[in-house]
Chain A
């Protein structure tokens, strides 16, 4: 800076040095790869990190819990509708079943529905979207029109209709969730593939002689993976919520099987007489939904380089 010009006479070294283009092109700031940048931003987002930890915990409970706890269907009519106690930490329900055990079982069922349904949607969406974008032309037109139609039918109506016909179970719920659930992802993937086919940077890469695989690897996959990840994180709570909604209406998982939806249904039925029956599943359910949404938000912000200003 200007201050440093005051150097004593005769101390100036006027010997020539060569040009140093390399060092002028060196970026002095912390250089981050895309993934590193994403991770760094995500880690700074404490809400997202807490959410991630909570989801990990809840998943662990869903896996390990049912192995440790006793039978979730065991009835004990003598101790029906009892509040929290040493024997039943979260109380008992109308037929004297232990709420904690049922909650843990319900966690396993509800999370499974959420993850499995969205994984199926993910696969269908990627395949259909990929085909649509890659083939282009008439096939693309056709697929897009089909998607337009599927999207314009109110989703809840289709699910209710299907569940009126089929008996509510994990399997039928998965079918109901996957009939229409893949459209969002298919559109997203198609959009990415199409933009890749048309975009200048991909064309530039092709002109420069990059192989198809290289373009796929360096452009398509990195461009897709972020939005897909965000979409997935946001869709899982959607599926879990849909299960709760349907079970609440008496169309989802029916007792004696446990799910967050039918636990909540019983909770609202017994409200406000047996508060624990409502609040225990409601809190776990709401926190999980919150965690997924906050994590999804965090991911989306982290993946958007513009947010890193």
Chain B
């Protein structure tokens, strides 16, 4: 008989226990689906090159920016890619000309700004490009470290294959 006189399915499983288990399994499955769907939507990898600007560094600092070294976020330790290249230019700061009341850039002797290009295989989760959980956006302030140097600055440029990104959306 399907349900016996003790309320057990096939005489084995208590009907109430079975219903509670089914409800719990359904709830866990729904929760898993709900929280994982954000990662599934627009998922894919894209090669991204982005530029981090560091400012007011001593020239010796750039001896420690070594192409090929891996980069991680200094706080979260998320991998952020590998250094591809860097270029430097003299540091200029905004100064006030009191004679004609204008703002001008003045070069700071002995200091350099650097643009460090980093390449990463980013995850695409529209509208974001992600390395791990870290977003890659122009204007984002970052504190990264490579194997040899710490770099604190702003992301000032991003490059990727736009057609490939559009196809992934």
Same complex origin of A and B: no
Chain A residues engaging chain B, CB cutoff 8 angstroms: none
